[in-house]
Chains A and B, each alone.
Chain A
Amino acid sequence: MKPAQLANQSSSWFGAEGPGWDIVISSRVRLARNLADYEFLSCLTPGRQQEILDKLSEAILSLSLGDEVYFMDVDRAATLERQLLTERHLISRQHAAGKGPRGVVVSAKESFTAMINEEDHLRMQVYAAGFNLGDCWKRINAIDDMIEQKVRYAYSERWGYLTACPTNVGTGIRVSVMLHLPALKMTGQIEKFVTAARDADLAVRGLFGEGTDALGDFYQLSNQVTLGVREEDVVRELSDNIVPRIVDYEKAARQVLLEQKPHTLDDKIQRALGVLKSACLISSQEALYLLSSVRLGVNLGRVPNLSLTTINELFLLTQPAHLQLRAGKMLDADQRDALRAQIIRQKLANN
C-alpha cells in the first residue's frame, strides 16, 4: 500500500456518517505504550530502535483485527507521503518529522493506526465517525490485550504504564472528539468554551493547522489527566457529560442565530458558497473558513442539494499533500490554489 493511493479517497471515519456527526465529526481513543526491555526513544541507539520497530510491527501485523492492515515505513517515505499521512491523521506531525527507524501500521479503513517509535514505542489509536467514544475504547482495549500477549509492556505498580513523558503515565489514554462549533464562534462564546474546558483539565486544540487557533471552527477536545483515573471513567466523563453539553450549547447557539440573525447567517453561508463555486484560486486557509460556513449551512438546512459527506470530503482532499499526490507532482502554492479551487468548483457543481 502506497500513501499516494490514499490521495483520492475519503476516509472511513473523517467525513463519514456517524451518530451526531453534524457537530461531533469523529471520536478517537489513543493508548501510549512502551516495551519493558528497552530505553525510551531519547536514549535508544538506532539498532535497538530498529529492533523495536521489527518486534512491534510483526506483533501487530500478526493480529486478526477484522480489517486488512498495512505497514508503512515512515523513515523511508517521501516527505510528501509523510505529509499525506499527517493530513489524514494517521500519523502525528512529530512522527512525520522524527528520526531513525519508525513506522505505522494502518488498517485498510484507516480506523486503526499504530505509530511505532513516535514519542513512545507504541502509540495506537482507534477512530470512529461521529460521536462514538465507547466503541473506540472497547476496540482499542481489545487490540491492546492482544498485543500484550506478544510483547511485554513497561509497567509499574504505582505509576501504571510507563511513558516517555510523565504527562501520559498511568493509563496512557487520550480520549478525544473533533468538534465543529461555528455557532459558538459566531456568537462569541468560543473563548468561554476554551477557558471552561481548560479549567476542567481538558485540552483544546485546533483540528487543522498548528497552534491553538482552530482554523475553520474545528476543535479537538481531549482529556489531559491520565494517572489515577480508570480508562472507562475518562471515556464516560467525556461521553456522557462533557461532549453532550457542548453539543447542546452549539445547538442552542445555532437556534439563536436562526431566530435573531437569520440574514447575517444566510449571508455568511451563501457568500461562502458563492466564492467556493466560482473562485479560481483558493488557499487552504480560505477554503477551510468557507467550507466551515457552508458545512453549518448544510446542517441547518440552508443549503439544499448539498450533502455533508461532500463537504467533509473536500476538507480532506484539498489539503496540500493530497493535491500534490493526486496531481502526481510537486506543485507551488499558486498551482495548489488553482487545483484546489478547481476540485471544489467541480464537486459543488455536481451537487
Chain B
Amino acid sequence: MLCQICKENTATIHLTEISHGQRRETHLCQRCAQQQGLGVQPQIPLNELLSSLLQAAKTATDSQEKTVNFSHPDKTCPVCGMTLQRFSETSLLGCPEDYKHFEKELGPLIERTHAGHSHHCGKVPAHAGQEMKKEVELLHLRRQLEQAVKAEDYETAARLRDQIRQYQ
C-alpha cells in the first residue's frame, strides 16, 4: 500500500481515527507521518548500534553488483569445461577445480563478497591434506576419459581407465 500523501513510499503507519461516530483510516509512510506530527517517534538509534556491532573491515560491497566483466571470458576449466563467461552469467562454478584454475580472476571477487577475507579459517575436514591432490587428478582423468570415449579414441580411454583404477 502506498502512502496517501506522497504516493511514493510504502505506507508503514496505519492510523484509524474515530470522531463523532465517523471512522477514518490514514495510511502514511514514515516521513510523511512525521511531517504530519503522527507516527511514534523511534526510540532507539537502531541504525548506529547495529552498524557498530560488526567491526569487520568492510569494503564497499554492493549486493547489486552482480555482473562481472572478465578480461578473458573464454578461459576454460580443463576439468569441467566451465568458462568465466558462463560463470559471470550464473554465479555458479562447475567443479572444485575451478577455484584453482580461476583463482586469479575469482580471488578479488570472493574477497569482495566476504568482507575482504581471502583465506578460510574455520573447520577443517579430517581427510584434508595429501588426499587433495588425488581428488583433483581423479576428476581431471575422468573428464579426459569421457572425452576420449566420445571421440571413440579407445586406446587413450583404456589407458586413462587404468590410471583411474590405480588412483582408486
Contact = CB atoms under 8 A, between A and B. Distances in A.
B119 A165 contact: no
Nearest to A248: B44
Interface of B: 12-16, 29-30, 33, 39-40, 42-44, 46-47, 49-51, 53-54, 56, 58, 61, 63, 79-82, 90-96, 99-100, 106, 109-110, 113-128, 131-132, 135, 138-139, 142
A162 interface: yes
Given A34-B96, A186-B13, A230-B121, A154 B50 contact: no
A246 to B, nearest CB: 8
Given A188-B30, A191-B12, A245-B53, A158 B120 contact: yes
Contact of B12 (A158, A190, A197, A242): A190
A264 B15 contact: yes
Contacts of B120: 156-161, 169-171, 227-228
B161 to A, nearest CB: 15
A141 B123 contact: yes
Given A152-B131, A188-B39, A231 B122 contact: yes
A70 interface: no
Interface in A220-269: 224-231, 237, 241-242, 245-246, 249, 252-253, 256-257, 260-261, 264, 267-268
Contacts of A189: 42, 44, 46
B127 A192 contact: no
Interface residues of A, number: 72
Nearest to A242: B53
Contacts of B30: 188, 191
Contacts of A197: 50
A40 B95 contact: yes
A253 B53 CA distance: 20
Nearest to A34: B96
Given A166-B106, A225-B115, A245-B49, A37 B43 contact: no
Among A144, A170, A227, A253, find the residue whose CB has the most chain B CB atoms closer than 10 A: A227
Contact of A249 (B44, B121, B126): B44
Contacts of B79: 39
Interface of A: 34, 36-43, 119, 141, 144, 148-149, 152-162, 164-167, 169-171, 173, 185-193, 195-201, 224-231, 237, 241-242, 245-246, 249, 252-253, 256-257, 260-261, 264, 267-268
A157 B128 contact: yes
Contact of A188 (B40, B53, B109, B110): B40
A38 B88 CA distance: 22
B137 to A, nearest CB: 10
Instruction: Enumerate the 10 nearest inter-chain pairs by beta-carbon distance, A residue then B residue, closest first.
Output: A228-B117, A160-B120, A196-B50, A188-B30, A43-B94, A154-B96, A227-B114, A171-B122, A36-B135, A39-B95
Given A166-B99, A246-B50, 20 more contacts: A37-B139, A40-B80, A40-B92, A144-B123, A148-B127, A156-B100, A156-B120, A158-B119, A159-B110, A162-B96, A167-B91, A185-B12, A186-B12, A188-B39, A188-B40, A195-B47, A199-B47, A200-B53, A230-B122, A253-B43
Nearest to A159: B99
Given A40-B92, A237-B54, A152 B46 contact: no
B96 A196 contact: no
B96 to A, nearest CB: 4
A141 B125 CA distance: 11
Contacts of B123: 141, 144, 160-161, 171, 231
Among B53, B81, B123, B132, find the residue whose CB has the most chain A CB atoms closer than 10 A: B123
Contacts of B135: 36-37, 152, 154
A37 B94 contact: no
Contacts of A119: 92
Nearest to A166: B110
Contacts of B82: 42-43
A39 B79 CA distance: 9
Contact of B121 (A41, A185, A201, A229): A229
B93 A165 contact: yes
